[in-house]
Structure 1
Amino acid sequence: MHKTWNKPFHKRKMWKNVSNPGKMVYYMQPLVEHLFDIWMQPLPFPTLLKFVYSCVLLFFIMLPILYPLLVLLLYYGILQYAGERHFGVVPPDNWDLLGAASHLWRFQVTNKKYLLFVTMYIDRYRVIITAISSTVDYMRMALCFVFS
């Protein structure tokens, strides 16, 4: 006797009725489980590395959503470039992708005082994030010694 409940879900007849977001959730489950497994790793694996690894894993989880958006932005930029150069079409300010990209590319802080402030601000939060992650690691180590 053939038991259908032992088949994986993507090989069953019900798979044809599942929506595309449902299929995406089904295929993303191993990555999300891997994310939870990383955060449940025991000590000496530092929290800061877990955070960086989680960001990389979340990027790969979001890739099916990000890829079509990047393709749309690329083709809109090509269309805008062709429209501006060959047909003289001027896009509105809210839809000017090439103007925003060139403005972002040429951006620089001219005031040295502000540049020093931004550098110090970034360093401050880098130190705070490192301190918090180290504190979490040391708290976990202390709790492991207390409850073991």
Structure 2
Amino acid sequence: MHKTWNKPLHKRKVWKSVSNTGKLIYYLQPLVDNLFFIWMQPLPFPTLLKIGYSCGLFFFLLLPFLCPLLVLVFYYGIFQYVAEQHLALVPPDNLDLLGAALHLWRFEVPNQKYLIYVTMYIDRYRVIMTAISSTIDYMRMALSFVFS
């Protein structure tokens, strides 16, 4: 903390005049540097792990926004349950959180042959994602041979 406040931008008068966007950019610089460092790692570090690391990093970045949102959804569900059970209020279809959750919980594929198609599509996109990431790795390898 002591090192941060001794930086030139953190002089009290200058820091008060910086906009909120400027402060956000200032504090996000180490995070972006870390992200660039991971993506510029040499070849044995595969692209799929870099994608997973980036997604994890963005998830932790979004946690301050996701937590209040999940709390709001949870309390709206409690409010809807109490309103339906005790006050006999029926929510509109586009705001029926409990009905949507119940529909998802009881979801079942009516025709079993569709399950085969779903698994085939999931496998297809898994193979496509692996092929794209391998292509990126091979292109980086070829470029490293050309420019070294």
Query: What is the TM-score with the length of structure 2 in the denominator?
Result: 0.83
CA distance in 1, matches of 2:84, 2:8: 52
* Distance change (3 Å), C-alpha of 1:128 and 1:100: same
Q: Post-superposition shift, 1:25? A: 5.0
Are residue 80 (structure 1) and residue 95 (structure 2) matched? no
The range that moved more, 58-67 or 14-23, is 14-23
State the identity as a percent: 74
Aligned to 1:47: 47
Q: Which moved more, 1:138-147 or 1:96-105?
A: 138-147
Could you report, residue by residue, the CA deviation over 1:23-67 in whole angstroms, capped at 9, with x for unpaired residues?
555444432332222111121110011111111111111112212
Mark the runs of 5 or more structure 1 residues left unpaired by the alignment. Answer: none
* 2:110 match: secondary structure: coil
Amino acid at match of 1:57: L
| Paired AA for residue 135 in structure 1 | T
Q: Out of 88-97 and 17-26, give the one that drifted further.
A: 17-26
Paired residues for 1:118-137 under 5 Å:
118-137=118-137
> Which sits farther off after the overlay, 91-100 or 60-69?
60-69
In the other structure, the counterpart of 1:141 is 141
Q: Where does structure 2 lack aligned partners over 5 or more consecutive residues? A: none
1:107-136 Cα deviation digits (max 9, x unpaired) = 121211111001000001101110111111
CA-atom RMSD in angstroms: 2.4
Do the aligned partners of 1:28 and 1:61 also contact (CA within 8 Å) in 2?
Answer: no
| TM-score (normalizing by structure 1) | 0.83
Residue 65 of structure 2 aligns to which amino acid in structure 1? Answer: I
